[in-house]
């Protein structure tokens, strides 16, 4: 069964831009926190954040956090996502949740190629059948062992199921759909979106990153002004490895191309 990506911003620090501005101002002020916060109207907050960003003073940005839920994504995507280590992750477990009829993600290049798609979908069917057969076979073996050891039938069946699927999952593909909730601070999010919105990122995580950028800018536009591919406001840092699509990326994000 095919599925599609859904990314939702579940929660975030209240007034993230104001909190960050207050944290930064505290470094240079004798005033108390309450007085600093009271002096930060939207205009003052925006001005101070722009100054911070222009100076590259990024540590105060870590005080704001944002929590996302991703569904309809592949294990291939989450393997890349968790490489961003300054974050917290909670993912659907294949040890504890049986993949009774797993959904899967089809790469666009495969979907556009009839021959490749036929092979891909057949592989998904084979993977499901192999998973089910292995899980059922192992469960039967473990159930006998647990019953013989004196476990009651209900506890034995539950333990046998878990023990079986944790090994059966080895035949599941990277295309297998998963769900994950993750929390990052604003500084890490800017880094993530600059890396993963780039055309050199893989299509699936790039699509997720682009959706995240839109949601983040709706909440904190000044804070996340640099979220997005690094070529938006400066030359592409990839050098000879550049995708050559700087103007296209700027148009996509509504940035006036620079001469």
Residue carrying the six token digits 């222009």: 54
Q: What is the mean pLDDT of residues 25-35?
A: 89
Eight-class DSSP state of 22: H
pLDDT at 2: 61
Distance CA 245, CA 251 (A): 10
Out of 194, 196, 206, 250, the active site residue is 196
Extents of the domains making up the chain: 6-91+177-228, 108-171, 231-259
Over the stretch 34-81, which tens digit does the pLDDT of each residue have? 999 999 999 999 998 999 988 888 999 999 999 999 999 999 999 999
Q: What's the pLDDT at 257?
A: 62
- How does residue 182 score in pLDDT terms, banded at 50, 70 and 90? very high
Annotated active-site residue 196? The verdict is yes
In the numeric block, the tokens 């009774």 are attached to: 100
Helices (H) and strands (E) in the chain, counts: 10, 4
What's the rounded mean pLDDT across residues 108-122? 97
Neighbours of 244 (CB within 10 A): 9
* Model confidence, pTM: 0.92
The domain 6-91+177-228: what is its CATH number? Answer: 3.30.1360.170
The answer to whether the Cα torsion of 48, 56, 199, 196 is positive or negative is negative
CA distance 214 to 233: 17
How far apart, in whole angstroms, are the C-alpha atoms of residue 58 and residue 62?
Answer: 7
- Residues with Cβ < 8 Å from 4, sequence gap 6 or more? 72
Residue 220's pLDDT band (cuts 50, 70, 90): very high
């Amino acid at each position: 069964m095919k599925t599609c990506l859904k990314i939702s911003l579940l929660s975030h620090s209240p007034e993230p831009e104001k909190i960050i501005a207050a944290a930064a101002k505290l470094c240079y002020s004798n005033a108390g926190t309450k007085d600093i916060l009271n002096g930060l109207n939207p205009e003052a907050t925006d001005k101070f954040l722009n100054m911070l960003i222009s100076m590259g003073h990024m540590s105060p940005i870590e005080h704001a956090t944002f929590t996302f839920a991703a569904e309809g994504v592949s294990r291939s995507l989450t393997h890349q996502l968790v490489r961003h280590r300054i974050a917290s992750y909670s993912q659907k477990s294949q040890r504890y949740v049986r993949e009774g009829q797993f959904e899967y993600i089809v790469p666009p290049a495969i979907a556009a190629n009839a021959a490749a798609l036929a092979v891909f979908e057949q592989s998904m069917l084979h993977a499901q059948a192999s998973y089910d057969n292995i899980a059922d076979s192992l469960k039967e073996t473990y159930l006998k062992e647990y019953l013989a050891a004196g476990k009651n039938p209900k506890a034995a069946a539950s333990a046998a199921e878990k023990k079986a699927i944790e090994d059966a999952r080895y035949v599941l593909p990277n295309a297998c759909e998963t769900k994950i909730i993750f929390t990052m601070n604003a500084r890490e999010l800017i880094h993530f979106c600059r890396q993963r919105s780039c055309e050199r990122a893989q299509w699936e995580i790039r699509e997720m990153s682009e959706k995240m950028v839109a949601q983040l800018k709706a909440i904190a536009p000044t804070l996340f002004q640099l979220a997005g591919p690094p070529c938006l406001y400066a030359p592409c840092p990839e050098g000879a490895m550049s995708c050559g699509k700087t103007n296209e990326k700027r148009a996509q994000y509504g940035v006036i191309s620079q001469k």
